[in-house]
Amino acid sequence: MTGAETAVLIVSVLVASTTQVTVGFGFALLSVPLMALALPTREAVVVSTILGLVTSSFQAWHGRRDAERDVVVRMVASALVGLPLGWLLFTRVDDDVLRALLGVSVILAVLLLATNRVATGSRRLDVVCGALSGALASSLSTNGPPLVFALQARGLSMSAFRPTINTVFTVSGVVALTGFVVSDDVSGDALIHSLMAIPVLLLGSRIGFVLRGRVPETGARRLVLALLALAGMAAILTSVL
C-alpha cells in the first residue's frame, strides 16, 4: 500500500469504530465506502467484516444482560436465510458495479434513517429486516439500516439497542466471513490490512466509549448521517470515474 492508501485505511477505521461504539451502529456503513477509495471493493468488504466482528462481539458481550433475546433470535434466524443471497451477489458482480451498489445502498440508508419514519414494531418486521440485513451483510457488509429501523420501531432504550443489534452483527459477521473463506475471497492482503488496522480500531472504540456519555444522541446521529452521505457519494463517484 502507498502512504496515501494507508492513511485512508487508518482514517476509515478510526472514524467508523468511534461511530460504532458511540451510537451502536455505522461501522460497515462508514468503513466500506471509505476504504473502497483505497482498496478493491471486495477487499474492503472483507476487511470491514473482520474488523466489525471485533467491535460488535465485544459490545454484544459487554451488554449481553440488556439484549432483547427474543428479537435477537428472530433476526438472526431470518438473517441466515438472507446471507446466501448476498453471498451470490458478492461473488458474481463486477467490482465497479459492487462499488456503485454500495454507494446507492448507503444513500438509501441515510434517507431511511433521516426521515425518522418508524413503523410499528412486530415479529414480522423483525423477520423481514433480519433477512434483508443478512443479504446486505454478505454482499456489501452494510447490514445496519434494516436492523436499526426494526429496533427503532420497538422503541428500545440505547442500553438495550446496542447489545441487541451488535449480537445480530456478530452472528451475521461470523457466517459472512465463513462464506468469504469458502469462496476464497479472504486474501493475504485483506488479513494484513485487518491486522494493521486493529490498533486503530481499539483506539476508535476507546474514544467512542468516552463520547457515549458526553455527546447528545441527536447530535451524534446527525453527524453520522452527514458522514454516511459523503461516504455514499464518494463510493458512487469512484465507481464511474
Whole-number pLDDT of residue 28: 86
Determine the Cα–Cα distance for residues 185 and 168; give it in Å rounded to an integer.
23
Whole-number pLDDT of residue 222: 74
SS3 labels along 86-120: HHHHHHHCCHHHHHHHHHHHHHHHHHHHHHCCCCC
Residue linked to cell 453527524: 223
Domain count, the chain: 1
Segments of the chain with pLDDT less than 70: 116-119, 217, 220-221, 241
Task: Copy the grid coordinates of residue 104.
Answer: 446507492
pTM of the model: 0.84
Whole-number pLDDT of residue 113: 72
Distances (CA, A) of 207 to 22, 85, 203, 219, 222: 8, 36, 6, 16, 18
Per the structure, the complete domain to which residue 17 belongs is given by: 3-240
Whole-number pLDDT of residue 117: 60
**Do 186 and 53 touch, CB atoms closer than 8 A?**
no
Q: What is the pLDDT of residues 169-212, one digit of tens each?
A: 999 999 999 999 998 999 999 999 999 999 999 999 999 888 88
